Structure 1
């Protein structure tokens, strides 16, 4: 049976990790003599969201495909390979096409039942799409915030030591997204504001994917990174994985190993 750390241990480790200063030079790694660097063992990492997280993941126990083919896969493969002694467990429960309301319907079985220690969520772009399409399932910004907040509160009640990692959704004027571009841009931006607010309210790690993609697009055209303005290419998924690890390393000290990303 998988050994899981006490929630108190996880909270202590996360709190101390929050005091880590900005990333140093590429040679800086975790000091093996640091007692706190070995406290996080048996952690369960859960990635939730829509198609960007789904990554065409397998729906069976086949370990070759279970994490999909996106940023969640890159994060899990890297951490799992570098810390085999930590007995970490990784789940991907992203489902293509999901809106926040869809996530809510399956929250109990696909989130709470998995007992996550680190819960990473990237959701919102399909809510924007529903608004633009004038779908009956479209959510207002107030509904979006209330539902998202309720899910985080429910998770916090179940697992007080949980670490939330909230991803900021994104969209770019590529392909069909050029149609109704102002609506795509403005509605997504409004939901970004909501997620930033929730991240602050729940002391979550905020992963600002748009900032990373904006920088990448300044060096190479948007189509190289996002083939349809929403879905990342292999290259953009790698940038997302790097940014996820970079930001989470401020809270989980053992991830300081990856400071060379800066």
Structure 2
């Protein structure tokens, strides 16, 4: 890629993710829900779509139960480093899910598991539905209403629950590149909703778009996200690192993960 073209691409990628900038005042709030060093037996639950699913197993085989993506990387690291805490990890991501799908299965796949830490990454399939003009497409306002509902139900079930909300992301690769303006525009709207809800529910916000924007200055986008939507092994590792870094601000024994 010529230097001038590469600069233009990186500028457009930065602009596409600028809506997701995390304001310092949101990060410095003094009264956050936190877990201490002594907290044991915590239950971590990852929810979302195919990025979270990671082709996870659908049985109790511990070799595949967390899938093969960022959720696996996060869980494997914490479980190995803090074995004495008897932590429990679940992955309930399902490929193709939209926020409406999460809402339908929330009771069985989330509330029934009684998580202490609930991590959610959703939104890319909601954007795809709009672009594909699906009858199931929802507006940003509807997306917000449904997302707020599942968060409220979760917080009601466990007032001390730590919520971790990931900002959805895309990069201009493959079919996404062919319709980049619409993909990035619709995604920014959902990202703004997630950021708003993170503030409303005192959630940890994980800014994946900024992580990938920075990474694409080192290596071309396809190295990190092979089709514009799904991360490669390198991309999932970046997600896991950022997740641990941000959640470490709320769970004291995770503070060792500083990248």
TM-score with structure 2 length normalisation? 0.87
- The 3-state SS of whatever aligns with 2:256 is helix
- The 3-state SS of whatever aligns with 1:96 is coil
1:14/1:253 contact within 8 Å kept? no
1:248 matched to 2:247: yes
Distance, in Å, in 2 between the alignment partners of 1:126 and 1:232 is 15
2:45/2:117 contact within 8 Å kept? yes
What is the match of residue 5 of structure 2?
Answer: none
Residues 81-125 of structure 1, C-alpha deviations (whole Å, 9 max, x = no match):
000010100000000000000111100000000000000000000
Distance, in Å, in 2 between the alignment partners of 1:113 and 1:16 is 22
What is the match of residue 196 of structure 1?
Answer: 195
What is the match of residue 140 of structure 1?
Answer: 139
> Number of residues paired by the alignment?
229
What is the match of residue 55 of structure 2?
Answer: 56
Q: Displacement, 1:179?
A: 2.1
Larger relative contact order (C-alpha < 8 A, sep ≥ 6)?
Answer: 1
What is the match of residue 218 of structure 2?
Answer: 219
Distance, in Å, in 2 between the alignment partners of 1:118 and 1:258 is 17
Alignment of 1:38-187 (within 5 A): 38=38, 40-187=39-186
Residues 123-143 of structure 1, C-alpha deviations (whole Å, 9 max, x = no match):
000000000000000001110
Point out where structure 2 has 5 or more consecutive residues left out of the alignment: 1-30
1:112/1:155 contact within 8 Å kept? yes
1:174/1:227 contact within 8 Å kept? yes
Q: Displacement, 1:14?
A: 6.3
Which 4+ residue blocks in structure 1 deviate beyond 6 angstroms? none
Distance, in Å, in 2 between the alignment partners of 1:177 and 1:157 is 38
- The 3-state SS of whatever aligns with 1:68 is coil
RMSD of equivalent CA atoms: 1.2
1:14/1:252 contact within 8 Å kept? no
Point out where structure 1 has 5 or more consecutive residues left out of the alignment: 1-12, 18-35
Distance, in Å, in 2 between the alignment partners of 1:102 and 1:183 is 23
Distance, in Å, in 2 between the alignment partners of 1:16 and 1:61 is 30
What is the match of residue 206 of structure 1?
Answer: 205
1:128/1:188 contact within 8 Å kept? yes
Distance, in Å, in 2 between the alignment partners of 1:15 and 1:205 is 10
Q: Displacement, 1:242?
A: 0.4
1:167/1:206 contact within 8 Å kept? yes
